[in-house]
Structure 1
Amino acid sequence: MFRIHKIYDVSTASNQQLLSQVQAMLRVQFNELSEKDIAKLPAQLANPLKYRFHSRLLVAEDGHAKVRGFALLLHAPDLQFCFLDYICAGRGETGGGIGGALYERVREEAFQLKALGLFMECLPDDPALSPNAETRKQNIARLRFYERYGARPLANTAYETPVNEKDTDPPYLVFDNLGQHEQVLHREPTQAIVRAILERKYAKLCPPAYIDKVVNSISDEPVQLRQPRYIKKAAKDNIQPKLDKIALIINHDHDIHHIKERGYVEAPVRIQSISKELARTQLFETLNAKKYGLHHIEQVHKPEFVHYLRKACAAIPQGQSVYPYVFPIRNRARPPQELPLRAGYYCIDTFTPLNSNAYLAARGSVDCAMTAADCLLDGRRIAYALVRPPGHHAEHQAFGGFCYFNSAAVAAHHLSLHGKVALFDIDYHHGNGSQDIFYQRRDVYTLSIHGHPRHSYPYFSGFDDEKGEAEGKGYNRNYPLAENINGEQYRLVLNKALQRIANYQPSFLVLALGLDTAKGDPTGSFQLMAEDFYRNGELIGALKLPTLVIQEGGYKTQTLGINARHFFNGLWQGMSA
C-alpha cells in the first residue's frame, strides 16, 4: 500500500527526509543529471521566482516514510500550463501501479491549477531518432502509456531536433489536454509555452538560435498532435478529478454520546441539520473515517489526562452522567482517588459531563479530523470533519465546554509535520484549548474571533493581550468582540485576521468552524445571517490555502444547516475564483 501527498514545506524534518530519498532516486535513475541539478531541488520548491516555475513535488510513500515513487510538476501561472519534469517509481516498483497513480494525481493537480493542459517530454519511437532497439522498446512503452490518457506528441514541429547533430533520442514534446475536449492548442500561445520550456529549463543547453528555430517551426493553426499509434481509443481521456470536491467526513457514531438532560444543547440533531442541507449542494464527496492510534492525541494532550478520560468513562454505568463538582485548586499535586471526584481535576466547568460513551465519541471526532487532514496531504483543497462532540475548549490536560479531545489541535499538529499551519477559530466562544496547546509554538499560528470574555464563555481567556510565550511569542492572536455584532462589523475584524494569516504564509489552514455566531443562537449574542456566512466563507476561501474545516459549535438547529450550506458555498466560491 502507498499514499501520494504533496511536499508543501521543505523546512520540516519529515519533508527533508522524504526529499533526501527523492534525490537519491534521481541519482540512481537519472544518472545523466548533475549533482548540482539534484541538489537544487529544495530551492526549486522554495523559490519559484528564481526558477520561474512553481514546483510541486508529489511523493508516493508507504506510510512509514519510505518513498516508493515521485513526480515533479512545474506550473507556469503566467502562461497557464504545467510541465511534468520527472515521474519515477522506485527500483523494483514497476508494475505495482505507482507510476499510473502518480500520473493520475499529476493530472488532477494540473486540472485544479486550471492549466490549459499538461506538457512533458518523451523519448522518440522513430528508428531514425532512436536507433537502439532496446532503448526504442522502452520509449514505445512510455508513449503507449501516455496515449491511454489521450496524450500525444506535437506534430509538424522541430522540437525533436537534436541540439547536437550526433545526439540520439531527442525528446518529443507531448501534450495531455486533461480531458478538456474543447481545449485547442493555438499557435501563438504554444510558441510562448515552448519558448518558456526551452529558456527556463534548458537555457544552458540550447543556444538562442536553436530556441528560435524550434519556436518558429510551430506554424499550424491550430497546433496538431500526432495521430494515435498504439491505443485506438483513449480509455482514460476524460478526467473528473475526485480531488476537486470537498471531502466530507462525518462522525457517524456521534449519537452514542447523547445527553438528554434539559438544557444540554450539544445534541445529535446538530449533525443531521447540517448534513441534510449539505446534501442539497454538489460540492461534497463523503468519505469514511479511518482509525488512528492514540499517540496522535497524546502529542497534544497529556497522556495522564487521556488515560483518565478512557478509564473514567469506562467505569460509568450506561445511561448515567458524572458532572465535575470538586475542583482541587489548592492541591493539584494530589488528585482525588475516586474517578468521579477527580473529574474536576481535569475539567474547567460544571456542565460538561462524563459518561460511558464520551471518550469513544471524542475518539471518533479525532479520527474524522485526522482523516480530513490526510485528505489535504493527498491533494484535496478543502476537507470538512462534521463531528460532535466539538473540541476547541479541550486544553493540554483539561476538558470542558462540551469538548473532550481537541480534534482541531490534533489535526493541526499532524499537518505541522508537513508545513506551517494557521489554526483559525471562528466559533462564538474563544478557542482556549487550541491557544493553550500551541501557546509556546510558532509553527502553528492560532487566531480566534469570539465574544469578549467579559460576557462570554470561557471567561478566563481570549483577551487581546494573550499573544504567546517563548517560541510562540507573537504567534497567538485574539479578537474579542462586543455583544450584538452584525455581519458587516464582524467582517471588519475578519479581514484583519485574514491579512495576518496571509502574512504568515502557512501551508495549511485549519478552521474551527462555529456556527453559533448566528442570530438567535442560544449560546451567543452575534447577529450573523445566512448571507453573512456566505460572505465570510468567500473571504476565507480567497486565501486559497488547503483548508481543513472542523465543526465546533452552533446550536440553533432551525438555521444551523442553512448557515452551514451558505458558508461552504462561499468558501468554495472564494477558493475557485
Structure 2
Amino acid sequence: MFRIRRLFDTRLSSDQRVMEQVQGILREQFPGLSDKDVNKLPQQLENPLKHKFRAVLYVAEGVRSGVKGFALLLHEPQLGFDYLDYISAATNMTGRGIGGALYERLRADATAWSSRGIFFECLPDDPELCKSPKHRAQNRSRLKFYEQYGARPINGTAYETPVKPGDDSPPYLVFDPLGSQEPLNQNHAQVIVRAILERKYQQHCPPEYIEKVVHSFTDNPVQIRPPRYLNPETCKPPQHRELPEDEKIILVVNDQHDIHHIRERGYVEAPVRIRAITRKLLPTGMFREIRAKRHPEKMLKRVHDQGFIRYLKAVCLHFPEGKSVYPYVFPIRNQARPPVDRAIRAGYYCIDTFTPLTANAYPASRRAVDCALTAANSLLGRQRLAYALVRPPGHHAERRSYGGFCYFNSTAVAAEFLSAHGRVAVLDIDYHHGNGTQDIFYRRADVLTLSIHGHPRFAYPYFTGFDDEMGEGEGLKYNQNYPLQEELEGGGYRKILSQALQRVNKFKPQFFIIALGLDTAKGDPTGTWSLNGEDFFANGLLIGKLHLPTLVVQEGGYDSRALGSNARQFFQGLWAGTFLE
C-alpha cells in the first residue's frame, strides 16, 4: 500500500527526510547524474524563478516504509506545457505499479492545469540509434508503457541528434497529448523545445545545436510516430481529477459557536455568519472537515495574561443564561486597583462598550482557540492549506484585554504554536486593524505581523494601526501596518496586498497565517470599501502564489447575503494559487 502526495518544500524536518530518500533513489536509478544535479532538487522546488520552471515533486509513500518512488514534473504555465524530468520507483519496488500510479497522478494534474501536453525524453528503440540489444529491449518496454497513454515520440526532427557526434542512444522527445485530438502546432512546438533545451540543457547544448534542433521542427502540424506496440483504441484517457487528500483544505468549524448568541438588535456578530459560509464552501469538494481537538489552557497563557484569562473564565461562569453585561466603567486612572464587582470590572479588561460578557462568551471563544490550533497542527503533517472557521473572532483581543467582538486571540495562539516549528508571518486582511495580534507579537522578531485596514482616523479600533507602529526591541521592523483611505476598490487594494506579500516573501517564513476579514466587501455594515467576488478570488490567488503552508482564521465579515460567496471565491483563488499557478 502506498499513497501519492506532492512535496512542495523541505521546511519541515519530516519533509527533509523524504527529500533525502528521493535523492537516494535519484542516485541509485540515475547513476550518471552529478551530485550537483541531485543536490539542487530542494532549490528547484523553492526557487522556480532561478530554475525557470515550477518544479512539482510527487512522492509515493508507504505507511511505514518510506518513499517507494517519485516523479519530478516541470510546469511552465505561461507556455502551457509540462516536462517530465524524472520518474522512478525505488530499487526494490520496480514492477509494483508505482510508476503507473505516479504517471496517472501527474497526467490528471496536467489536465487540470489545461496543459497542452506532457513532454519527456525516452531512450530509443531504433537499432540505428541504440546499438545494444539489451538496452533496446529495456527502451521498448518503456516506450510501450507510455504508449498505453497515447504518448509517442515526435517524428521527423533533429531532437535525437547526439550533441557529440558518434554518441550512442540519443533520446527521443516524447509527447503525451493528454487525450486531446488537437494536432501539435509547429510554432508552439518550437517555442516549447527551445524552452526545454535552453533552460534544462544550456550547459550541455551549444547555441548552434539548440538552433539546429528548434528549426528542424518543420512539419505543421508536428508529426507523432504511429503506434508501434499497442492498439491506439486501448489508450488510457486522463483520469477525472478529484482532489487528492493532501490538496484539500482542512476545515475546522467551531461546533460551539452558536452558544454565543447575542439576541439584541444591531449585534451583527451572529451565528448566521458561519452557516452562510459553510453553505457555500462544502459543496465545492475542496474541503475536508475535521473535528477540533481540545488543547490545554497553557496554550492560551502563552499569549494572554493569566489574570485576564482567570477573570474571563470566572465572570462568564457566574452569569445567568441569556444575560449580557456591557462594560461601562473604565478605571484608567488607577489600573492597580480594579473594581471588586466582576461585572463592573469588565471595563478593566475591555477596550470598548459594545462587546458584551455572557455565560457562553468564554466557552465559545475557548473552542475557537481549539479550532485554530487543530487547523494549525494539520500544517505540520501533509496539508498545505487549513481554515479555522470560528466565531467569536479574535484579532482585537490583546494580551490582557478583549473587545471588538473578540475575547481570545485565536490567530495569535495559532501563530505562537507554529512559531515553535519555524518563522511565522501573520497577515491581517480584515477591514479593521488587528490590534490584538500586533500587541502580542510587538516585541518579537520570529513572528512578522502585518495588517491592511481602514485608517484609524475613521475605523475601529481608532487608537492603533498607524503606519509608524513598527515594533519595539527585537521586534522593531517586524510589525507593519497599511492604513488605507475610506473608499477603496479591488484594484487599489491589490496594490497594497502585493506590497505586503513582498514583505512576507522577504521574511521567508515557514508558515503563513491569514486573519481573514470579509468585511472589506461592498455593503458590509461595518466597513466602507467595495471589494466584490472577483476581488476576493484575485486576493486569494495572490496569497496562494507564495506557496507557503497557510492557515486561514476567520475574523470579521457581517453581510450574510454575500458572506458565503465571497468566502468561496477567496478559497478558490487561494487553492488555485497554491496548486495550479
Is TM > 0.5 for Structure 1 vs Structure 2?
A: yes
**1:360 is aligned to 2:357:** no
| Preserved CA contact (<8 Å) 2:248 2:288 | no
Aligned to 2:528: 527
Cα distance in 2 for partners of 1:195, 1:106 equals: 23
- The verdict on how the C-alpha distance between 1:475 and 1:168 changes in structure 2, with shifts beyond 3 A counting, is same
- The verdict on how the C-alpha distance between 1:142 and 1:13 changes in structure 2, with shifts beyond 3 A counting, is same
| Preserved CA contact (<8 Å) 2:8 2:46 | no
Cα distance in 1 for partners of 2:224, 2:195 equals: 20
Q: How far apart are 1:514 and its partner, in Å?
A: 1.8
Aligned to 1:201: 200
Cα distance in 2 for partners of 1:131, 1:460 equals: 79
| Preserved CA contact (<8 Å) 1:160 1:173 | yes
Aligned to 1:185: 184
Cα distance in 2 for partners of 1:414, 1:62 equals: 29
- CA-to-aligned-CA distance 1:378-407 (integer Å, 9 cap, x gap): 8xxxx7654434333355687654446655
- The verdict on how the C-alpha distance between 1:169 and 1:457 changes in structure 2, with shifts beyond 3 A counting, is same
Q: How many residues align?
A: 562
Cα distance in 2 for partners of 1:414, 1:159 equals: 53
Cα distance in 2 for partners of 1:409, 1:387 equals: 14
Cα distance in 2 for partners of 1:460, 1:100 equals: 60
SS in 2 for 1:191: helix
Runs of at least 5 residues in structure 1 that lack an aligned partner in the other structure = none
**1:423 is aligned to 2:426:** yes
Aligned to 2:264: 262
Aligned to 1:30: 30
Cα distance in 1 for partners of 2:222, 2:160 equals: 16
**1:351 is aligned to 2:331:** no
| Preserved CA contact (<8 Å) 2:429 2:514 | yes
Choose the corresponding residue for 2:468, options 460, 465, 468.
Answer: 465
Cα distance in 2 for partners of 1:413, 1:28 equals: 41
Q: How far apart are 1:33 and its partner, in Å?
A: 1.0
Cα distance in 2 for partners of 1:447, 1:157 equals: 54
Cα distance in 2 for partners of 1:433, 1:135 equals: 66
The 5-angstrom pairing of residues 152-551 of structure 1 reads 152-163=152-163, 169-179=169-179, 181=180, 183-206=182-205, 211=210, 214-228=213-227, 229-230=229-230, 232-240=233-241, 242=243, 247=249, 249=251, 251=253, 253-255=255-257, 257-262=259-264, 265-276=268-279, 285-289=286-290, 294=295, 298=299, 301-302=302-303, 351=356, 353=358, 354-356=361-363, 358-368=365-375, 377=384, 386-394=389-397, 401-403=404-406, 406-409=409-412, 423-440=426-443, 445-453=448-456, 457-458=460-461, 461-470=464-473, 472-480=475-483, 485-488=486-489, 492=492, 495-502=495-502, 504-505=504-505, 510-517=513-520, 521=524, 524=526, 526-529=527-530, 532=532, 534-535=534-535, 537-538=537-538, 541=541, 544-546=545-547, 549-551=552-554
Aligned to 2:81: 81
- The verdict on how the C-alpha distance between 1:111 and 1:388 changes in structure 2, with shifts beyond 3 A counting, is farther
- CA-to-aligned-CA distance 1:63-87 (integer Å, 9 cap, x gap): 9996554433334456443212123
Give the residue type in structure 1 aligned to 2:370: R
Q: How far apart are 1:270 and its partner, in Å?
A: 1.1
| Preserved CA contact (<8 Å) 1:386 1:550 | yes
Cα distance in 2 for partners of 1:341, 1:63 equals: 57
Give the residue type in structure 2 aligned to 1:377: R
Q: How far apart are 1:161 and its partner, in Å?
A: 4.8
Cα distance in 1 for partners of 2:98, 2:336 equals: 54
Cα distance in 2 for partners of 1:386, 1:259 equals: 16
Scaled by the length of structure 2, what TM-score is found? 0.73
| Preserved CA contact (<8 Å) 1:390 1:402 | yes
| Preserved CA contact (<8 Å) 2:450 2:500 | no
Supply the RMSD in Å over aligned alpha carbons: 5.5
Q: How far apart are 1:412 and its partner, in Å?
A: 6.1
| Preserved CA contact (<8 Å) 1:14 1:417 | no
Q: How far apart are 1:552 and its partner, in Å?
A: 1.5
Give the residue type in structure 1 aligned to 2:152: R
Q: How far apart are 1:466 and its partner, in Å?
A: 1.7
- CA-to-aligned-CA distance 1:300-352 (integer Å, 9 cap, x gap): 945997997999899889968898989999999999xxx99999999877635
- The verdict on how the C-alpha distance between 1:394 and 1:82 changes in structure 2, with shifts beyond 3 A counting, is farther
Give the residue type in structure 2 aligned to 1:351: P
- The verdict on how the C-alpha distance between 1:342 and 1:114 changes in structure 2, with shifts beyond 3 A counting, is farther
Worse-matched range after superposition: 309-318 or 65-74 = 309-318
| Preserved CA contact (<8 Å) 1:178 1:238 | no
Cα distance in 2 for partners of 1:3, 1:405 equals: 38
SS in 2 for 1:487: coil
Cα distance in 2 for partners of 1:344, 1:104 equals: 61
Cα distance in 2 for partners of 1:98, 1:459 equals: 59
Q: How far apart are 1:3 and its partner, in Å?
A: 6.0
- The verdict on how the C-alpha distance between 1:480 and 1:82 changes in structure 2, with shifts beyond 3 A counting, is same
| Preserved CA contact (<8 Å) 1:257 1:361 | no
SS in 2 for 1:462: coil
Cα distance in 2 for partners of 1:464, 1:81 equals: 43
| Preserved CA contact (<8 Å) 2:365 2:408 | no
- CA-to-aligned-CA distance 1:180-201 (integer Å, 9 cap, x gap): x254312233234334433433
Cα distance in 2 for partners of 1:390, 1:569 equals: 22
| Preserved CA contact (<8 Å) 2:438 2:449 | yes
| Preserved CA contact (<8 Å) 2:448 2:479 | yes
Cα distance in 2 for partners of 1:534, 1:192 equals: 32
SS in 1 for 2:120: strand
Runs of at least 5 residues in structure 2 that lack an aligned partner in the other structure = none
| Preserved CA contact (<8 Å) 2:277 2:563 | yes
- CA-to-aligned-CA distance 1:243-275 (integer Å, 9 cap, x gap): 899858362735553335536543221122234
Cα distance in 2 for partners of 1:287, 1:88 equals: 30
SS in 2 for 1:25: helix
| Preserved CA contact (<8 Å) 1:453 1:460 | yes
| Preserved CA contact (<8 Å) 2:163 2:209 | yes
Cα distance in 2 for partners of 1:499, 1:64 equals: 43
SS in 2 for 1:505: helix
- CA-to-aligned-CA distance 1:489-514 (integer Å, 9 cap, x gap): x8646533432423543678644232
- The verdict on how the C-alpha distance between 1:192 and 1:479 changes in structure 2, with shifts beyond 3 A counting, is closer
Give the residue type in structure 1 aligned to 2:371: G
Q: How far apart are 1:55 and its partner, in Å?
A: 3.6
Cα distance in 2 for partners of 1:569, 1:213 equals: 44
Scaled by the length of structure 1, what TM-score is found? 0.73
Aligned to 1:150: 150
- CA-to-aligned-CA distance 1:197-226 (integer Å, 9 cap, x gap): 334333454466655554455343212333
Cα distance in 2 for partners of 1:204, 1:428 equals: 51
Give the residue type in structure 1 aligned to 2:236: A
Give the residue type in structure 2 aligned to 1:495: K
- The verdict on how the C-alpha distance between 1:49 and 1:277 changes in structure 2, with shifts beyond 3 A counting, is closer
